[in-house]
């Protein structure tokens, strides 16, 4: 699949890049995408929730009333869950929600997500995205040139660029990543994907 490279003004240049059909033209696997997104979101959960169970409650350990002859159920501790202020039964405890997902499935998920983007015409290959200094105004000017100023846009760079990152930081919906940190969730969560010209080859080397 050939796609024309555009400049920072949104105008087509004379250059073209070939997007590999083995990455951008496969039959998408929806279940692989689902698993990869699920794993990504699960790994982001803190899992620090904690409720006090019976053993965590402060209180006297004396038997609060005699065993028989009260006409009510026997009770041995004020910490019992049946009393107000007692411990919670089977309450949430700190845990790790992350789970293992095979590398082949993760690669398939990214290829599937990229194939959807290519099929829907939501990929733009951009030439020369760089700024002399951080500038939100200049960044918005570039996004406006490619009709992505008011959309969820994912910018993929070949390597970390501090000025581009800082320029996009205050723009709602804009997300800047490097080719080696590209993940399925960020691809499917964007309306338009802007790939820097130098990042195309890096993505293919990672996913080939």
Position 186 pLDDT exceeds 80: yes
pLDDT (tens digit, 9 = 90+) per residue, 8-59?
Answer: 887 888 888 889 999 999 999 999 999 999 999 999 999 999 999 999 999 8
Q: For the domain with range 2-45+101-207, which CATH number is right: 3.20.170.30, 3.40.1370.10, 3.20.20.140, 2.60.40.650?
A: 3.40.1370.10
| pLDDT value of residue 185 | 96
Q: In this structure, what token pair is assigned to residue 59?
A: 């209180």
Q: Shortest CA distance to 23 belongs to which of 201, 153, 161, 185? A: 201
What is the C-alpha separation between 156 and 125, in angstroms, rounded? 10
Position 71 pLDDT exceeds 90: yes
| pLDDT value of residue 151 | 86
What is the C-alpha separation between 25 and 19, in angstroms, rounded? 8
What is the C-alpha separation between 208 and 63, in angstroms, rounded? 69
SS3 letters across the chain: CEEEEECCCCCEEEEEEECCHHHHCCCCCHHHHHHHHHHHHHHHCCCCCCCCCHHHCCCCCCCCCCCCCCCCCCCCCCCCCCCCCCCCCCCCCCCCCCCCCCHHHHHHHHHHHHHHHHHCCCEEEECCCCCCCCCHHHHHHHHHHCCCCCCCEEEEECCCCHHHHHHHCCCCCEEEEEHHHCCHHHHHCCCEEEEECCHHHHHHHHHC
| pLDDT value of residue 208 | 84
| pLDDT value of residue 148 | 83
Tell me the pLDDT of the chain averaged across its residues. Answer: 92
| pLDDT value of residue 8 | 82
User: How confident is residue 150, by pLDDT bands cut at 50, 70 and 90?
Assistant: confident
| pLDDT value of residue 58 | 92
Provide mean pLDDT across the span 98-103. Answer: 94
Domains of the chain by residue range: 2-45+101-207, 47-96
- Going by their DSSP bridges, the two strands 12-18 and 2-6 should be labelled as antiparallel
pTM for the model stands at 0.83
């Amino acid at each position: 699949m050939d796609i024309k490279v555009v400049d920072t003004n949104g105008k087509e240049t004379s250059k073209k890049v070939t997007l590999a059909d083995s990455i951008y033209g496969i039959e998408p696997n929806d279940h692989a995408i689902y698993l990869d997104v699920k794993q990504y979101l699960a790994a982001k959960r803190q899992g620090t929730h904690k409720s006090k169970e019976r053993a965590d409650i402060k209180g006297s350990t004396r038997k609060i009333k005699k065993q028989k002859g009260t006409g009510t159920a026997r009770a041995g501790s004020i910490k019992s869950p049946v009393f107000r202020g007692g411990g919670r039964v089977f309450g949430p405890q700190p845990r790790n929600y992350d789970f293992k997902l095979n590398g082949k499935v993760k690669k398939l998920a990214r290829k599937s997500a990229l194939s959807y983007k290519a099929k829907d015409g939501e990929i733009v290959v951009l030439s020369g995205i760089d700024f002399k200094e951080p500038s939100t105004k200049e960044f918005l000017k570039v996004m406006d040139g490619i009709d992505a100023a008011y959309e969820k846009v994912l910018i993929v760079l070949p390597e970390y660029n501090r000025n581009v990152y800082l320029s996009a930081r205050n723009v709602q919906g804009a997300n800047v990543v490097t080719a080696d940190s590209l993940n399925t969730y960020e691809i499917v969560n964007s309306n338009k994907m802007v790939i820097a010209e130098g990042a195309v080859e890096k993505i293919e080397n990672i996913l080939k």
